[in-house]
Structure formats: structure tokens, C-alpha cells
Structure 1
Amino acid sequence: MSRRRLLGTAGAAGATGLVIGAAGGATGYAATRDEAPAALTAVGSTEVMFHGKHQPGITTPLQARGHLVAFDLAPGAGRKEAAALMRRWSSAAQRLMAGEPTTGGTGHDTGIALDAGPSSLTITFGFGATFFARTGLTDHRPPGLDALPPFSADHLDADRSNGDLWVQIGADDALVAFHALRAVQKEAASTATVRWQMDGFNRTPGATAKPMTARNLMGQIDGTGNPKPDDSDFDQRVFVPAGGDGAYEWLTGGSYAVVRRIRMLLDDWEKLPVEHQERVIGRRKSDGAPLSGGTETTAMDLDKAGPDGKLLIPDNAHARISSPERNSGAAMLRRPFSYHDGISSDGTPDAGLLFICWQADPLRGFVTVQRKLDRGDALSPFLRHEASGLFAVPGGAAAGEYVGQRLLES
């Protein structure tokens, strides 16, 4: 029985299953929760569609668990082998996102997520700059994949940066996400080998009394200024439009992902008084409101001064420097995961942000903003960029297509 059918069967049992649970071990749970256990099934049953104009995992709401993996094509693997891999990956992604098992060429499913629903699983695929030379598609490599410039906060590990292929996996259940990760790794078989992998997390849906913008490991609300899907220029900022050079037509409806592993120097940050932290960011820690006043969604008044004549949002505040108003309207859709990889040899936490941002043009998006931040952001002393990647993410696959087919069969 598939995971999806199993979930449906449980739903059909409905009240009977809940009564049995309430009479057994669930009584202690029910006695300590305001909501009935049945409400939790909504988290597991949410399904994101694989096919569409854009790939999933870009505008999908933040998920509780994430895996980022880069692969390099194996020696001797070229365009033909890459196309076969993308077919396998796309087929597996479609089944997994629907809550169905996948064998990964072994003849049986691992069973890791057998009794779970789709849990908002998304699997997103991208191509790095080196992919095009290795597949004989150099003429189809878009200029947006030109190497990112160096920045002063960079301490980049080349072994954990870039890659021929990139896969982003997100889900609201850790076992569902890991199940997808194993399937992707097994489908790569002898065609591609893992270059690096990073694992992240976010707040679990339903953990707060009402939906709210996520917090990062510094305790700051992170993502307030993101473009919104109902903004008139959202698609223009995030997705590659049609009508470009014919060699790059395969990228129509796609996007560029900049991926950065940003270590937060939490011991240093947490020594600062909250008022100092707020001046570094330019927003209140409690609710994300700008220091110029209002609520989280109130527009920043960058010219507003206090009784002492000083700007309420300091000149070097992170929110001021990164704002579209200070970057000729440049914006990107930030969709990160936090990470924690234990304690380093010096006793400090190896923790921070798996920063992922989406834009139609990385030069006008990430690079424009990061260059400005590089010249005096008050937050920079508390951050260290340890890995970096830039990937072209094709548009979504239509029914019957695999991701990247328009490139690999061009």
C-alpha cells in the first residue's frame, strides 16, 4: 500500500481511529494539548504539485526540514547520462511529492516514510556553471551563471561550494525529507557523486499561535522585506522571463539560486544587549518592527530621527543597507534554513544560516545587495560566509516532461 493510500485509509477510519487512540496511549497527549490530535494530520497530508510553470520549493512556504546537496558528474558522464539522470530524478520527485514510495532501482522502497503523508515535500533541481562544459552545452550556459565576485566576509571552502548539479529538498517532516534525500542519492547511481551536503531546519508549522515570519538563530525575525507573490513585479524579480536569447530559452520560468553557508558568531552576538542588537539590525527583536516605528510590515522611515537628532535606523543598520530603496530597487526572495552542526574545536557553535535566495538575475539581485553590505554592514562582524554556490534552476516540468528536458534535448 502506498503512503498516500495509507493516509487516505487512516482518514476514512476517521472517528474510529481517534476513539481507539483516545482510549489508549493518546490520553496523556490529549490531556496536555489544546487541539485534538486529528488537527496534526493537516501537516502530513499537504501535497505540493511537481508539475507546473515553476519548479516547487521556490514560492512554497518555508518547510521545517531541508537538505541541500550538490553533485558532480562522474568521469565519462556527459549529456546523455545527465538526461537519463534528470529523467530518473524527476520521476522519483513526482512520486515522492505525491506521498508514494519509490524503489530507487533497488526493487523496494526503504520504508523510511511509509506511514507518512507528503508533508509538503518539494524537490528542486538546478545546474551549476561547470555542468554545461561537461555536457557539451557551453553555448547554452546563461550569462547569469558568471562567477560571483569575492566579498570581504568570505572564508569559502571550495570543497563545499558550487557543483555540477544542485538539489534542494524540503518537507515538514524530517523522515519524509530524509527519505527523499536517500532516493535522490540512490538514483544518482554511477552518474553523479555527492560533492557536498548541508542539512537545515525551520520552525515547525503550527508551533506558533498564528502564522508569522520565521526567526533565525540570532533570534531575529528574518524575511520581512521579501517580495510577495501578489506584488505586481514579483515574477519580474524572481523568475526568468520569456523572449530572451534562444540559447537560453530553456530557462524561461526558471530562476537563479544563490546558496551561501553563513556561520553566525553566536557567542559574540549574544553578548550584545538587545538594544545594541536592534541597532545592528535596524528592527525590534520582539516583533520585527522597524526602529522608525509601527509594526513588522510598516515601511521603514529611513529619514526619521530621534530627539537627539540621530537617525532611528542607523546608517550602518543591516535593514537599511539591504533595503530596495538603497539598492536601486534590487530585491531577491530569501528562503533559508537554519543549521547547527555541533560545537567546533574552539568551543563555539557551528551554527548559522543556509542562505538561499531566488532572483531573475543574480547580478541585479544578490550581487548588488551583497556589495552594498560588504561596504559597512553592522552585522558583518558577526557573520562568516563559509561556502557558496550559484545555480540556474530551470522552469517547471510540464506533464510528461522531466526537469531540464528543454536544455538537454535542445
Structure 2
Amino acid sequence: MSTNSPNRPKNTKNTQSARSTAKSADGAAKTGSGGSATGSGSDARGGQRPAAVRLSRRRLLGTASAAGAAGLALGGAGGAWAHSAAQEEPPTALSTLGSTTVPFHGTHQAGIATPAQAHGHLLAFDLAADSGRKQAAALLRRWSDAARRMMAGEPPRDGERDTGIALDAGPSSLTVTFGFGRTFFTRTGLEDRLPTQLAPLPDFSADALDKKRSDGDLWVQIGADDALVAFHALRALQREAAGTARVRWQMTGFNRSPGATDRPRTVRNLMGQVDGTNNPDPDDKQDAEKIFVPASGEPSWMAGGSYVVQRRIRMLLDEWDERSLHEQEKVIGRRKSDGAPLSGGHEHTDPDLDKLGRDGQPLIAGNAHIRVTAPQSNGGATMLRRPFSFHDGFRDDGAPDAGLLFLAWQADPLRGFVPVQRKLDRGDALSRFLRHEASGLFAVPGGPLKGEYVGQRLLEG
């Protein structure tokens, strides 16, 4: 779990209120392009999502929803709803949260540089014994079609069986991201197209990995700002896989909801720490080169893609909460209140690793998390971190089974995740409060062009 990769936060305009942005179906704004969301809410890099409205068949009926989105008192909202129902006026527009869409097509798959959503599902599938390259291609074609339609908020096709879970909701920034594990290439006879970057991760001394919850042939990430929309996508993809692949493992996570803070702020993890302060900026050319495989990169089918390392990291929250605020801040190297480094400044001030205190000791301890993970301490190694928190109940000893579903995106994990994790393994003050319980590395190809399905260049190239 890293909290110190380079970032250039953007200053963007505040979103308009729901009252000013809500539009009728005839005047709804069009969606953006290139794999980034359009709509309101704070993004993973501390920025603000631009306001836009895109209406779909999943609409919130009645003015009660619009009144709530605009911040009206409950008493006033009830009167407005009663009047609208009596007059049979047209339903109002979705709130910006529900109407936000993310394009399926683009240079990169959605869900990598997309602002982190409030709800997420991560899962891996293993191909059935009698499924090979042909069956895998057919599955990716079905999955891609389903993802495209759900992300756009399109209605079910005539005669299509649909669970109806998300009928009343808009697309809610839904993204679906697909990747391939190392074993996928053996199962499909594509060993000659296996990327060198997909070499097995080395063993780390702190690992206590559950193999049943690690790795897999196919990997799927689902994110949305509405829990039912995310679950609807999960069920749809599972049904499409029937007979071709079975679920190997599945994990559910969450983040702060868009609009939950007074202004766009960096998310906090379950330790209460600001987490993700200095993420690299995918829109910056130098940063993007460390996140995405270049067009001239190898293998060619991975152009525009990225490699994701997923780790289920359980936090020993009871032990952490017993530590004083001073101890917690010393472990991380940042103030808990605002995320500023202990060397001074504000959240986005670069840590001064050489600055000494009055006692002559470094203000940021030698084993502080931000020192150990700093790019300058790891040969410039950089990752785009886009995690979800999780809570899966309580363990037999009463401790919460909770922590971080760590997701690190990079153009080459051998130059990104591996050197940083090795450094953490050797001496990170935070490690004593963490347990690495599951792991996986997946190749996530570039985004599909219109008419393509994800992975087509691999499976049919």
C-alpha cells in the first residue's frame, strides 16, 4: 500500500448544483470521450468531475429525486412531489451522479484513468476444461457487448433476460475493465504471445497468500457510483460466462461517494489516512509513459494497455487504532489531519526527506512509509494506484476483516510494483500493521475501437 507516487493535481471548476444541471431528455448533454467520465463528483487525483447530464432509460421518476439532489428540505420536497404527481408532469432529469457515463471505446480501457467510483467488484474467472481460444474469443465478444451497452445505459434488447436490478438507475459512471492472467495464454494456446511483463511476481517475505483468491485466467474490474448498477453488471457478466468460464474468486470494495465532502479531497483509507495524494497524472506525457504501454511497445496487442497488480491487504485496525496520533503520523510520514508531509507544507508539497528536526533526526523517519515508497528511493518507480477499501465482516477473534483492495497500474510491473514492494519488504514501518493475503498480476489490453471487442488483437491477430 503506497501513498507517495508523483502527482500534479488539477484545478477544475466546481460543479453546478443539481437544480442548474438537470435537463430534460431533449436537452441532455452529450458524453465525453477517451475513457474519462463526464458528470459531477471528485476524482481519484483530487480533481472535480465536469458537470454533464446524460439521460437514459434508467431514470429517477418524480421531482422528489431532483429536490433531494438540489438540497431542498424534506418538507418542501414532499409538497413538490405531490404536486407533480397530481399534475402528471414529465419526470425530471437524473441527478448528475446517476446520469454520468464513461465511454467504452478509446485508446485505453475505462476504469484505469477514470475517477475512482464509490462501489467496485473485482473478480477472476478460470476457463472451463473444454474452453480454448475460440470459446474465449466468443466470451470476450459477449462481455464487451454487454459492457458497452450497460456503460451507455442502453435498455435490454427485446427478448433479452435481464435481472431488472438497475432498471431505475442511470449508468452512474459504470466501467468494466478486462484483463488476462498468465495461465490464460496456456489455456488458449497463445504461449508465443505471452508478455515478458507478465512474469510471475516474486515471493515477498511478508506474503501469506491464499492461492484460491489469487491469480486466474481472466480478470474483471467493475466500478460504479451506485451499488445496484455495479451488482447488475457483475451478474450480467457472470451469466454471459456460463459454460465457458467459472468464477475463481470475487471481492467487493468501496470508496467515498462523489459529493460526500465539502470540496474535492483525496480519499482516506480505513486507517483514516489520506491515501493517493501523489498519484501520477495519466494526462501528463511523462507519467502516462509509466502507466500505459506505448503504441510502439511489445507485444503490439498491448498497445495502449497497462499491467495491474492486485493485492488484498488486510489492515490490523485494532492494533493501529491503539497507537497515538503521533505514532501513526510517524509511521506514515504525513499528518493525519490534512495529509501534509511531516517535513512541512500542505498535502501536495513534495516531502523533504533530508530535513532534520530540532533533535537532529530526520522529520520523516528512515522507515516511514512515504520515504520507503518515494520514487527517489526506488529508481523512479511509479504506479497509478486506484484501490478500493473492503470490509468482509469480523474474524473469529473479533477483529475486522477489512483493509485495502490494492490496485497498481503500470507499463511494466518489473519496473513499477516489484522494486517498490521489495523495498517495503525490507523495512517499512507500516508493514507490521498489514497482512498481504491475495495477489494477482494481469495484462489489461488497450481499449477497443468501435466494432472491436476487448482482446481482439490478441485473440485474432
TM-score by length of 2: 0.82
Residue from 372, 378, 393 that aligns with 2:429: 378
| 1:78 counterpart = 2:132 | yes
**Does structure 2 conserve the Cα–Cα contact (< 8 Å) formed by 1:4 and 1:118?**
no
**Does structure 2 conserve the Cα–Cα contact (< 8 Å) formed by 1:44 and 1:118?**
yes
Distance (Å, rounded) in 2 between the aligned partners of 1:357 and 1:21: 34
Cα distance, 1:20–1:351 mapped onto 2, change above 3 Å: closer
- Unpaired runs of at least 5, structure 1: 32-37
Counterpart for residue 224 of structure 1: 277
The Cα of 1:30 is off from its aligned counterpart by: 8.3
Distance (Å, rounded) in 1 between the aligned partners of 2:363 and 2:65: 57
Alpha-carbon RMSD: 2.5
Distance (Å, rounded) in 2 between the aligned partners of 1:161 and 1:21: 40
Counterpart for residue 350 of structure 1: 401
Distance (Å, rounded) in 2 between the aligned partners of 1:353 and 1:98: 29
Residue from 318, 325, 328 that aligns with 1:274: 325
Render the CA deviation track for 1:207-244: whole Å, top value 9, x for unaligned: 00101110000000000121013433122100011223
Cα distance, 1:19–1:379 mapped onto 2, change above 3 Å: closer
| 1:311 counterpart = 2:362 | yes
Cα distance, 1:63–1:156 mapped onto 2, change above 3 Å: same
Distance (Å, rounded) in 1 between the aligned partners of 2:252 and 2:403: 11
Distance (Å, rounded) in 2 between the aligned partners of 1:30 and 1:374: 57
Counterpart for residue 452 of structure 2: 401
Runs (4+) of structure 1 exceeding 4 A deviation are 7-10, 15-22, 28-31
The Cα of 1:17 is off from its aligned counterpart by: 8.1
**Secondary structure of the residue that 1:212 maps to in structure 2?**
coil
Distance (Å, rounded) in 2 between the aligned partners of 1:374 and 1:233: 28
Matching residue's letter, 2:75 = T
Residue from 173, 183, 186 that aligns with 1:120: 173
The Cα of 1:101 is off from its aligned counterpart by: 3.6
**Secondary structure of the residue that 1:339 maps to in structure 2?**
strand
Map 1:214-363 onto structure 2 (within 5 A): 214-245=267-298, 248-363=299-414
**Does structure 2 conserve the Cα–Cα contact (< 8 Å) formed by 1:221 and 1:285?**
yes
**Secondary structure of the residue that 1:325 maps to in structure 2?**
helix
**Secondary structure of the residue that 1:6 maps to in structure 2?**
coil
Cα distance, 1:308–1:171 mapped onto 2, change above 3 Å: same
TM-score by length of 1: 0.92
Counterpart for residue 154 of structure 2: 100
The Cα of 1:18 is off from its aligned counterpart by: 5.3
Distance (Å, rounded) in 2 between the aligned partners of 1:389 and 1:193: 17
Counterpart for residue 44 of structure 1: 98
Counterpart for residue 27 of structure 1: 75
Render the CA deviation track for 1:165-216: whole Å, top value 9, x for unaligned: 0000000000000000000100101000000000000000000010111000
Count of residues in Structure 1 that have an aligned counterpart in Structure 2: 396
Counterpart for residue 187 of structure 2: 134
| 1:66 counterpart = 2:104 | no
**Secondary structure of the residue that 1:297 maps to in structure 2?**
coil
Counterpart for residue 35 of structure 1: none
Map 1:192-231 onto structure 2 (within 5 A): 192-231=245-284
Distance (Å, rounded) in 2 between the aligned partners of 1:199 and 1:55: 20
Counterpart for residue 243 of structure 2: 190
